[in-house]
Amino acid sequence: MNDNDKHSSLLKKERLFNKIAVDKQSSFLVTWWLAIAQSLKDGNCVWELEYLDVIADSQYDFWIEKLNQDPWSSFSFSRSVIQIGDKYWVHDMLYLKYPSVLPLRYLPDLEKFCSKSNDYIGVLKEITAWLVLNNQAVFLFYIRMSPVIKINLYDLLILNLEAILPAEEDVAIMAIDGSWLIFKSMEGEWVFGRL
Protein backbone atom coordinates (compact mmCIF):
# COMPACT_ATOMS: atom_id res chain seq x y z
CA MET A 1 0.00 0.00 0.00
CA ASN A 2 1.51 3.31 -1.02
CA ASP A 3 1.27 6.60 0.91
CA ASN A 4 -1.71 7.85 -1.11
CA ASP A 5 -3.63 4.65 -0.41
CA LYS A 6 -2.80 4.88 3.30
CA HIS A 7 -3.91 8.49 3.41
CA SER A 8 -7.14 7.68 1.55
CA SER A 9 -7.81 4.78 3.92
CA LEU A 10 -7.28 6.99 6.97
CA LEU A 11 -9.66 9.62 5.57
CA LYS A 12 -12.33 6.96 4.97
CA LYS A 13 -11.90 5.64 8.52
CA GLU A 14 -12.16 9.15 9.96
CA ARG A 15 -15.27 9.87 7.88
CA LEU A 16 -16.85 6.60 9.01
CA PHE A 17 -15.96 7.36 12.65
CA ASN A 18 -17.64 10.80 12.38
CA LYS A 19 -20.74 9.35 10.70
CA ILE A 20 -21.07 6.71 13.43
CA ALA A 21 -20.66 9.36 16.15
CA VAL A 22 -23.46 11.48 14.64
CA ASP A 23 -25.68 8.41 14.12
CA LYS A 24 -25.17 7.47 17.77
CA GLN A 25 -25.93 10.98 19.10
CA SER A 26 -28.94 11.35 16.82
CA SER A 27 -30.33 7.97 17.93
CA PHE A 28 -29.80 8.91 21.59
CA LEU A 29 -31.65 12.20 21.14
CA VAL A 30 -34.45 10.58 19.15
CA THR A 31 -34.92 8.10 21.99
CA TRP A 32 -34.65 10.48 24.95
CA TRP A 33 -35.30 14.03 23.73
CA LEU A 34 -37.47 14.07 20.61
CA ALA A 35 -40.69 13.38 22.56
CA ILE A 36 -39.94 16.51 24.62
CA ALA A 37 -39.53 18.55 21.43
CA GLN A 38 -42.79 17.08 20.12
CA SER A 39 -44.58 18.12 23.33
CA LEU A 40 -43.27 21.66 22.87
CA LYS A 41 -44.36 21.67 19.23
CA ASP A 42 -47.82 20.35 20.17
CA GLY A 43 -48.09 23.00 22.91
CA ASN A 44 -48.36 25.73 20.28
CA CYS A 45 -45.94 28.04 22.07
CA VAL A 46 -42.98 29.90 20.66
CA TRP A 47 -39.66 28.19 21.30
CA GLU A 48 -36.37 27.71 19.56
CA LEU A 49 -33.18 25.79 20.00
CA GLU A 50 -30.10 27.61 21.19
CA TYR A 51 -28.29 24.50 20.06
CA LEU A 52 -29.14 20.87 19.38
CA ASP A 53 -25.53 19.77 19.53
CA VAL A 54 -22.01 21.17 19.54
CA ILE A 55 -19.74 19.15 17.30
CA ALA A 56 -16.44 18.89 15.50
CA ASP A 57 -16.34 20.49 12.07
CA SER A 58 -15.88 17.05 10.51
CA GLN A 59 -19.32 15.96 11.80
CA TYR A 60 -21.29 18.97 10.55
CA ASP A 61 -22.34 17.62 7.14
CA PHE A 62 -23.56 14.37 8.73
CA TRP A 63 -25.74 16.31 11.20
CA ILE A 64 -27.18 18.50 8.45
CA GLU A 65 -28.03 15.34 6.54
CA LYS A 66 -29.79 13.96 9.66
CA LEU A 67 -31.81 17.18 10.11
CA ASN A 68 -33.23 16.66 6.62
CA GLN A 69 -34.38 13.11 7.39
CA ASP A 70 -37.22 11.72 9.48
CA PRO A 71 -37.89 12.17 12.32
CA TRP A 72 -35.83 15.40 12.48
CA SER A 73 -37.25 16.89 9.29
CA SER A 74 -40.71 17.32 10.87
CA PHE A 75 -39.26 20.12 13.05
CA SER A 76 -37.63 22.22 10.30
CA PHE A 77 -34.69 23.13 12.53
CA SER A 78 -32.28 25.56 10.95
CA ARG A 79 -28.66 24.61 10.35
CA SER A 80 -27.63 26.99 13.14
CA VAL A 81 -28.82 24.53 15.81
CA ILE A 82 -25.73 22.48 15.02
CA GLN A 83 -22.81 24.49 16.31
CA ILE A 84 -19.20 23.77 15.55
CA GLY A 85 -16.93 23.90 18.57
CA ASP A 86 -16.03 22.06 21.72
CA LYS A 87 -18.04 23.97 24.32
CA TYR A 88 -21.64 23.44 25.36
CA TRP A 89 -21.61 27.03 26.55
CA VAL A 90 -25.01 27.06 28.30
CA HIS A 91 -24.21 23.87 30.22
CA ASP A 92 -20.76 25.28 31.04
CA MET A 93 -22.33 28.50 32.37
CA LEU A 94 -24.54 26.40 34.66
CA TYR A 95 -21.61 24.45 36.09
CA LEU A 96 -19.49 27.58 36.49
CA LYS A 97 -22.14 29.70 38.19
CA TYR A 98 -23.84 26.91 40.15
CA PRO A 99 -21.27 24.25 41.12
CA SER A 100 -22.49 20.91 42.39
CA VAL A 101 -22.44 20.06 46.07
CA LEU A 102 -22.33 16.33 45.34
CA PRO A 103 -19.38 14.43 43.88
CA LEU A 104 -21.28 11.78 41.87
CA ARG A 105 -24.26 13.66 40.48
CA TYR A 106 -25.07 17.26 39.76
CA LEU A 107 -27.03 19.15 42.41
CA PRO A 108 -26.41 22.89 42.74
CA ASP A 109 -25.92 24.46 46.16
CA LEU A 110 -29.25 26.28 46.25
CA GLU A 111 -32.28 26.47 48.50
CA LYS A 112 -34.40 23.31 48.49
CA PHE A 113 -38.05 23.86 47.78
CA CYS A 114 -40.80 21.91 49.50
CA SER A 115 -43.97 22.53 47.56
CA LYS A 116 -47.56 22.25 48.62
CA SER A 117 -48.37 21.23 45.06
CA ASN A 118 -48.33 17.71 43.66
CA ASP A 119 -47.82 18.71 40.04
CA TYR A 120 -44.93 20.36 38.21
CA ILE A 121 -46.94 23.39 37.10
CA GLY A 122 -47.94 24.11 40.69
CA VAL A 123 -44.34 23.75 41.88
CA LEU A 124 -43.00 25.97 39.10
CA LYS A 125 -45.67 28.62 39.78
CA GLU A 126 -44.75 28.65 43.48
CA ILE A 127 -41.03 29.00 42.72
CA THR A 128 -41.52 31.76 40.13
CA ALA A 129 -43.68 33.64 42.65
CA TRP A 130 -41.08 33.11 45.40
CA LEU A 131 -38.30 34.43 43.14
CA VAL A 132 -40.61 37.22 41.85
CA LEU A 133 -39.83 36.33 38.25
CA ASN A 134 -41.39 38.22 35.37
CA ASN A 135 -42.07 36.61 32.04
CA GLN A 136 -38.75 36.41 30.19
CA ALA A 137 -36.88 34.19 27.81
CA VAL A 138 -35.15 31.33 29.63
CA PHE A 139 -32.98 28.35 28.82
CA LEU A 140 -34.59 24.97 29.41
CA PHE A 141 -32.17 22.07 29.22
CA TYR A 142 -31.25 18.64 30.49
CA ILE A 143 -28.01 17.73 32.23
CA ARG A 144 -27.24 14.57 30.25
CA MET A 145 -28.44 15.81 26.86
CA SER A 146 -27.03 18.46 24.56
CA PRO A 147 -30.13 20.38 23.35
CA VAL A 148 -30.83 23.78 24.91
CA ILE A 149 -34.31 25.23 24.40
CA LYS A 150 -35.03 28.95 24.55
CA ILE A 151 -38.62 29.61 25.65
CA ASN A 152 -40.61 32.20 27.61
CA LEU A 153 -40.92 31.32 31.26
CA TYR A 154 -44.69 31.80 31.41
CA ASP A 155 -45.16 29.57 28.36
CA LEU A 156 -43.79 26.71 30.44
CA LEU A 157 -46.71 27.18 32.82
CA ILE A 158 -49.25 26.33 30.13
CA LEU A 159 -47.52 23.23 28.79
CA ASN A 160 -47.64 19.61 29.89
CA LEU A 161 -44.65 19.89 32.21
CA GLU A 162 -44.68 16.20 33.10
CA ALA A 163 -43.77 15.55 29.44
CA ILE A 164 -41.26 18.40 29.21
CA LEU A 165 -39.65 17.83 32.62
CA PRO A 166 -39.55 14.03 32.69
CA ALA A 167 -39.04 12.37 36.06
CA GLU A 168 -36.00 10.46 34.81
CA GLU A 169 -34.09 13.63 33.88
CA ASP A 170 -32.21 16.38 35.71
CA VAL A 171 -33.67 19.61 34.28
CA ALA A 172 -32.49 23.21 34.49
CA ILE A 173 -34.54 26.33 33.86
CA MET A 174 -32.09 29.20 33.86
CA ALA A 175 -32.11 32.92 33.13
CA ILE A 176 -30.42 33.72 29.82
CA ASP A 177 -27.65 35.51 31.71
CA GLY A 178 -27.46 32.79 34.36
CA SER A 179 -28.56 35.15 37.15
CA TRP A 180 -31.12 32.69 38.55
CA LEU A 181 -31.76 28.97 38.34
CA ILE A 182 -34.59 26.53 38.97
CA PHE A 183 -33.40 22.93 38.99
CA LYS A 184 -35.33 19.65 39.23
CA SER A 185 -33.31 16.51 39.88
CA MET A 186 -34.32 13.05 38.75
CA GLU A 187 -34.62 12.26 42.45
CA GLY A 188 -37.51 14.76 42.62
CA GLU A 189 -35.58 17.50 44.41
CA TRP A 190 -36.37 21.07 43.42
CA VAL A 191 -33.78 23.74 44.22
CA PHE A 192 -33.69 27.38 43.17
CA GLY A 193 -31.90 30.62 43.74
CA ARG A 194 -30.28 33.76 42.44
CA LEU A 195 -26.66 34.77 42.23
Cβ atoms within 10 A of the Cβ of 21, count?
16
Q: What is the mean pLDDT of the chain?
A: 93
pLDDT (average), residues 11-34: 94
What is the percent of the chain with per-residue pLDDT over 70, rounded to a whole number?
Answer: 99
pLDDT of 119 higher than 90: no
* pLDDT for the residue numbered 1: 65
pLDDT of 131 higher than 80: yes
Report how far residue 53's alpha carbon sits from residue 83's, in angstroms, rounded to the nearest whole number.
Answer: 6
pLDDT of 114 higher than 90: no
pLDDT of 37 higher than 90: yes
- Which tens digit of pLDDT belongs to each residue from 39-77? 999 998 999 999 999 999 999 999 999 999 999 999 999
pLDDT of 128 higher than 80: yes
Candidates 163, 136, 161; CA nearest to 150 is 136
pLDDT of 130 higher than 80: yes
